[in-house]
Amino acid sequence: MRVIVTMCSILLFAINTYAQTPNETEMADVMRSNGKIYVVITVLLVIFATLAAYLFSIDRRIKKLEDKV
């Protein structure tokens, strides 16, 4: 029963995101015309790359500790 409720809620959420009208992307159009969208994308890429590097370094440290034991 819990799986069915979860699947229904995910489906309703997905339908809700596709129901948006194309006129609601005015902010993205303004940012794209000003060139600011590229700044946002760059900042997000830097954050994700830093997070990935941090997670890989933690993984290496854990593997070294496991090898010692």
Domain count, the chain: 1
d(CA 32, CA 40): 10
d(CA 42, CA 20): 26
Q: Is residue 7 part of a domain?
A: no
Q: What's the domain range around 50?
A: 24-69
Q: Is residue 48 part of a domain?
A: yes
For the segment 1-48, what is each residue's pLDDT rounded down to a tens digit?
Answer: 777 778 777 777 766 565 555 555 677 777 778 888 888 899 999 999
- What is residue 19's three-state secondary structure? coil
Q: State pTM to two decimals.
A: 0.54
